[in-house]
Amino acid sequence: MSPTFDSLETQPWSDITALHESLLQRQLDYVVDRSEFYQRRLGKQRSQITSLADLGALPFTTKEDLRESLIAHPPLGFHLAVDEAEVVQIQSSSGTTGMPTYVAASTEDLAVWNSMGARVFYANGFRPGDWVMHGYAMGKGFVGGLVNVQHLQHLGCCVIPLGAEAGTERLLRAIDHLKPVALCATPSMVAYLGAAAPDVLGKQASELSVRKISVGGEPGGGVPAIRESMESLWGADVRDMMGGADFGSTYWAECDEKDGMHLCSQGALHVELIDPDSLEPLPLEEGVTGELVYTALARRATPLVRYRMGDIVTVSGTGCACGRSAYKIKTHGRADDMLIVRGVNVFPAAVKDIVVHFTPDATGYLKIDVDFEGHSTSQPLKIRVEMASSSTRTADELAVAIERMLSDRLTVRSVVSIVPEGRIERPGAAKEKLLERTTNT
């Protein structure tokens, strides 16, 4: 069987760049012609952009810009670039603050989304004919729901779209009955389902049929300790993927090497890396950390140019044994979620990674209590960690050990308080929220 879903994925990167050069020119003509939002923003500068290297001269587009556009010109904003009659699907982006953003797609857009999504699930190890239990939230227009179902069908899989809302018991009973070989869900859902299997079914998750798991929707799948705990729980291969609602669902994926996520958006999205503080471009070279900036190259309904989604990533490689030519990244999370503790940048997912190291004494569930305004504090970070009822350690021992590892690995000072098993709310159908704010910001 082919090593990739699409032959574009193994073409020399210079060919992909050349493709993107020509698509960019066509797309910029399109947005200036069809999108009132970009007519105003880029109309005067359009003629000066003759190559990808000139893109940096154009302004960024932000989530706030899109919200304002949606409010000023309902229902789909000034950035809509097709007639409303050509829109065939509207998804919702779950903004962490304020109103959700609505994202429109035409028939052509869905085809582009599906090509990216099928590459992603194929890289994650899914193959035509595989039966896949779909455990992402199906409701609220979340792209991990219906859009991932469409991707899996485009790849040729049989999808079982029970969704996270079905609940643990129903999902586990369906897996036991239908025996799907694959599962896709958030890492916290995968961990939760796996832990519940003995109670619900009287057997371990590793005794079930699932051997391939694709995780996304929240950071964690690419973190070694979190991956290993899911793999041993299920006796399955676990791979990470990532994307975002503004451009479909998913367009980064880990391959067999499981050492970072390949870009899977050839011909659809051009991606830049910038310094999130200076906003200057950064080279796409191994070891460089920055924020991703996306420009749609083949988008009809709601095209975006230089869009800042807020993902902070590190380039983890530019060549791969799998044959894919695209570079790979590891994600740290969204810039919005980052905390600054006494001047040190801390991503909640990195704290979770440390806590997961302490399983089975810890259950892996935690909350970071944010009792300060904004993102920055001069106090030690307050973290509640759940202790497993089967642990033989004392609460004090566990707290001190976690505080020490947070200090050693992340150079973060913390105060860990231990709570009994079951005290921290399980994410269920929702994304896991590691931060709990006790102030209004």
- The binding site for Zn ion (CB under 5 A) comprises 255, 257, 320, 322, 324
Residue 335 CB, shortest distance to Zn ion, in Å, is 26
Shorter beta-carbon distance to Zn ion: residue 297 or 320:
320
Residue 6 CB, shortest distance to Zn ion, in Å, is 14
111 near 73, Cβ under 8 Å?
no
Shorter beta-carbon distance to Zn ion: residue 237 or 432:
237
Write the DSSP assignment of 107-166 as a string of letters.
HHHHHHHHHHHHHHHHHTT--TT-EEEE-S--STT-TTTHHHHHHHHHHTPEEE---GGG
Shorter beta-carbon distance to Zn ion: residue 315 or 320:
320
Q: What's the rounded Cα separation, in Å, for the pair 34 and 26?
A: 12
Nearest to 336 by CA among 369, 307, 310, 371: 310
Q: What's the rounded Cα separation, in Å, for the pair 192 and 5?
A: 31
Shorter beta-carbon distance to Zn ion: residue 59 or 319:
319
Point out which residues pair with 252 in neighbouring strands: 242, 263
Shorter beta-carbon distance to Zn ion: residue 10 or 92:
10
Residue 271 CB, shortest distance to Zn ion, in Å, is 17
114 near 150, Cβ under 8 Å?
yes
The residue ranges of DSSP E strands in 190-306, in sequence order, are 212-215, 237-243, 250-254, 261-263, 269-274, 281-282, 289-296
Residue 262 CB, shortest distance to Zn ion, in Å, is 5
Residue 226 CB, shortest distance to Zn ion, in Å, is 20
Residue 120 CB, shortest distance to Zn ion, in Å, is 12
> Which pairing describes strands 158-160 and 182-185: parallel, antiparallel, or unpaired?
unpaired
Residue 257 CB, shortest distance to Zn ion, in Å, is 5
Q: What's the rounded Cα separation, in Å, for the pair 26 and 28?
A: 6
Shorter beta-carbon distance to Zn ion: residue 155 or 354:
155
Taking the C-alpha atoms of 165, 169, 172 and 177 in order, what is their torsion angle to the nearest 10 degrees?
-110
306 near 60, Cβ under 8 Å?
yes
Residue 124 CB, shortest distance to Zn ion, in Å, is 11
Shorter beta-carbon distance to Zn ion: residue 257 or 436:
257
> Which pairing describes strands 131-134 and 158-160: parallel, antiparallel, or unpaired?
parallel
Residue 316 CB, shortest distance to Zn ion, in Å, is 10
Shorter beta-carbon distance to Zn ion: residue 324 or 357:
324
Q: Token match 């962490």: residue?
A: 96
φ/ψ bin of 12: left (φ > 0), alpha (ψ from -120 to 50), beta (otherwise): beta
Shorter beta-carbon distance to Zn ion: residue 254 or 403:
254
